Structures are given as C-alpha cells and as structure tokens.
Amino acid sequence: MNKTALFISVVFCWGYFSCKQKPSKNVYENNLGIPPAVLAQLDSIHYTQIQWIDSVKTIGNVFYGDTVLLNFMFKNTGETPLFIAEVKPSCGCTVANYPKHGIMPGEIGILQAKYTSEGFPGNFRKSITVKSNTTNGVYHSLQFLGILSKDSLPHQNKTYLK
C-alpha cells in the first residue's frame, strides 16, 4: 500500500511541476492565416519590453547612388514574446527588413534598413517608425544621419554595411 501511495505522489508532483514550465512554443501561432504579430498587438495584457541597443546611427559621407545597409539591434527584456507588427521608413529611399517571428525573452533581434542615396547633396536625417507589442511604448523611432557628398554626382553604385 505504501508503494502505491508513493507512486501516486510522484506522478502527481511530476504532473503539477511540469505544468509550471514556460511554453517554448509561440502562443500566437494559429491556423487562421492571422499573422502572430497582429494577435500579439491585441493582447495588451501580455506586452513585453524592448531595449534598443542602437537606435541612432551616424553613417558619415555617402556618394550619390550608393546603398548603405544598417543593422538596428534590439533585445526582448520582458517575459513574453516580442513581435514587430509594422515598420514605416520616412521616405521611399529606405526599405526595412525585420523579423516576422517572435523574439523570445532574452533574445536579440535585428532590423535591417537599406538606404539608397538620392536627392540633393548635404546633410540628411532619415527615420524609421517601428510598431511593437511593448509596454515601454508601442511606437519606436530609429534614425540615421549622414552627408550626401557634393562631389558625388557620378553614380558610385557601391554597397556599404554600417
């Protein structure tokens, strides 16, 4: 009789403590065709925290026609998955690529911007607005600035990672 009671106690404890583990699966995955980032935006009770490692970049001199790739790094410092729902560059000369999957707590993600230099020579400042499921602001502003060189009228057409 004692062995049976011990066995039942062990099974009960195993079942109880196994339910307390955090799920490693994305809780916003679904079969309805709804992007997980959309569902995460609606679940404001489970918003997380984002820490931008570098939200402003100075890229220096750029020649007309050149392309600059910029990596903006961020970390999920909260306790639930972080989703970037939307990214809007301030002009058509910049496009952004960002993770479409959830960034788990403690993980680092990268948003990559691709800037193709155009326009008038001189100083420039571009921005990117990021929408995420975060308690420290739903909207975040990333910026990069530089100088479009005056002596850059011929197209250089080079790509730089900064």
Split at pLDDT 50, 70, 90, the class of 26 is low
Contact 130, 87 (CB under 8 A): yes
- Mean pLDDT for 23-50 is 76
- Between 119 and 137, the higher pLDDT residue: 137
Give the DSSP per-residue string, 38-54. HHHHH-GGG-B-EEES-
* Cα gap 69→76, rounded to integer Å: 23
Q: What is the pLDDT of residue 34?
A: 75
The β-bridge partners of 35 are: none
Split at pLDDT 50, 70, 90, the class of 28 is confident
Fold adopted by 51-162: Immunoglobulin-like (2.60.40)
Dihedral sign (CA 42, 47, 48, 51): positive
Structure tokens at 101: 């999957």
Nearest alpha-carbon partner for 111 in 137, 80, 75: 75
- Between 83 and 158, the higher pLDDT residue: 83
Q: What angle do CA 58, 64, 67 make, to 5 degrees?
A: 60
Tens of pLDDT, residue by residue over 42-83, are 777 889 999 999 999 999 988 888 899 999 999 999 999 999
Split at pLDDT 50, 70, 90, the class of 21 is very low
- Between 118 and 56, the higher pLDDT residue: 56
Tell me: pLDDT of 153 over 60. Answer: no
Nearest alpha-carbon partner for 78 in 18, 137, 140, 34: 137
> What letter represents residue 104's amino acid?
M
Give the DSSP per-residue string, 105-120. TT-EEEEEEEEE--SS
CA count, 13 A, side-chain hemisphere, 69: 9
Residue whose token pair is 């809007």: 88
What are the residue boundaries of the structural domains of the chain, listed by start?
A: 51-162
Split at pLDDT 50, 70, 90, the class of 108 is very high
User: From the centroid of its chain, how far is CA 100?
Assistant: 8
> What letter represents residue 161's amino acid?
L
